[in-house]
Amino acid sequence: MSGLTPTGSNQTFAGVGRLEFSPTTTADDPFPVWVDITSRVRTESEPLSLETMGSQSELDTGESCVLSATLDDSDGALTYGLTSGPFGTGWVPSRRFRYSETWGNRTFVLYSGYMEFPDIDDFKPIGYQEVKLVCNDGLTRLARGRPFVSTLGAHVLFNGPANGMQAFWPLGEASTPFLDVSTNAVGAFPLESSTLPNLVPTTAGPLFSFQGAPAIFADDLNCLQLSPALAGTSDFQTAFLQTQNSNFSVSNGTMTFTFWMWFNDITTSSIFMVNNTSATTAIGMSRSVGQWQVTGIVGASTVAFNINPPPTQKWTLCSIRLTLPSGLVEYWQDDDPPQTGTLSGSPASSTTITSLGLGSDFVGYLGHVQLYSGPTATAFPRAAHLAQFQMAQTGLEYQSTGQRVNTILDYAGVPALMRVVDPGVAFMQVATLAGQDPLTALRNAVDTEVGRGFVDGYGRYVFQDRTHVLNV
């Protein structure tokens, strides 16, 4: 059966309760298919219990609720790892559970949560066997959620799948390698350089400084600083960051290389490049004798066109976009008008990228390096570039508390059907999400509002603003 309200006759165990779980649907499915396992509940030694429900007073912080029960596993159906049972591979941690009670002709769903690792306290090879069930609700799941990279980083990751994200390096680590944190390949394509672990400080200082850059406008992540190796010479070599075997392709679509940079204007050239190992495909930007250019190469087809120089001593969002087979190469800088060029000849309709490099003689700061590819209409269109630029300026400032709650739930992957959010009365300051788990970020909004945040019996996150709580 599916939906929110249990139907049919319940199987009782010294009471009127029903215990169900969903072996075939994912944890985030708002319409799980439920299986009644009430007949397996044993209460001889320990009753089914719901612990730490809600809060102790109207304004206390809502706490996670824990469901625990003892289940009969004599037939092995609830033995973790035994896939031949009636639930197959469905008896695994994180599966959805719910508990309801029926009084007269009305049914109340009191709890919805997620199974922890099932525990067999005293294994018996034959005969009667029990398994201990423990479930935590959505608050615990939010508390265990992946910490946010930063305020801007959360925006980038949330919008990444829709924009065809292939890789994302925030460059905010305190040591190498710099990890690819995209959902496509978490940690698969580290960005590093053989020069970084073996640098010898010079009179000008080291070639780099981890977390040495100021945050990007309203963001809260300190990214990478690249510094010259030698002072007073023409060779301002800096660390060159690269990744190999990233292997992503573009076919009849676009490839976009996006990054934030702060350029210090000294007599050097600057290079950013995405290419393959044979250098038959490349897009990038460089400066030579004071003139900035964007370069594109696909086989024998090439283009190089001058662009307006990026501002110095200021964070700038840059995107270089290649479209095949048209050969259009676009350069987007902040919210300035696009600058374009076209590959010569008849470029191929597809190509594969195997490596990325950036830095070389660049002196300044780098952060939030991103790669996208896919259909021309949807793979990081200009609207996505402009939205990221705007996000960096505001950092979610002046959101109402209800808007902030919805944004955090979006970033945490909570479906719209699994939340009930009041609009809120108070307004929020610039968000500081770096290193925070989703629950902590939600509670910041709840505390600002002097409202309530909790998970209801159906498993939905509920935010009640002060007009709801105080009835004013």
252-273: average pLDDT: 81
Helix (H) or strand (E) holding 392: helix 382-394
Contact 289, 267 (CB under 8 A): no
Quote the pTM value.
0.88
Specify the amino acid at residue 64: S
Give the HSE-up count for residue 186: Cα atoms under 13 Å, Cβ half-sphere: 4
Report the C-alpha gap between 150 and 170 in whole angstroms: 9
Question: C-alpha dihedral over 355, 358, 360, 362, to 10 degrees?
Answer: 170
Residue 105 φ/ψ, nearest 5 degrees: -105, 20
Residue 44: per-residue pLDDT:
82
- pLDDT at residue 95 above 50? yes
> Which two structure tokens, joined as six digits, stand for 384?
């996505």
Which residue bears the tokens 């990890």?
Answer: 179
Lowest mean pLDDT among 188-197, 263-272, 296-305, 447-456: 188-197
Which residue bears the tokens 């946010």?
Answer: 148
The candidate with the shortest Cα–Cα distance to 391, out of 157, 224, 145, is 157
Lowest mean pLDDT among 102-106, 361-365, 435-439: 361-365
pLDDT higher for 468 or 82?
468
Report the C-alpha gap between 220 and 391 in whole angstroms: 12
pLDDT higher for 86 or 343?
343
Report the C-alpha gap between 190 and 244 in whole angstroms: 9
> Which two structure tokens, joined as six digits, stand for 227?
């510094």
pLDDT band at 7 (very low <50, low <70, confident <90, very high): low
pLDDT band at 395 (very low <50, low <70, confident <90, very high): very high
Lowest mean pLDDT among 83-97, 241-255, 377-391, 454-468: 241-255
pLDDT higher for 337 or 245?
337
Give all domains of the chain, ordered by start, each with its CATH number: 17-136 (no CATH), 165-379 (2.60.120.200), 401-470 (no CATH)
Task: Identify which of 83-92, 210-219, 400-409 has the greatest average pLDDT.
Answer: 400-409
The candidate with the shortest Cα–Cα distance to 218, out of 334, 369, 388, is 388
Report the C-alpha gap between 222 and 206 in whole angstroms: 17
Residue 40 φ/ψ, nearest 5 degrees: -90, -10
Residue 417: per-residue pLDDT:
92
51-57: average pLDDT: 62
Averaged pLDDT score across all residues of the chain? 84
pLDDT band at 174 (very low <50, low <70, confident <90, very high): confident
Report the C-alpha gap between 426 and 423 in whole angstroms: 9
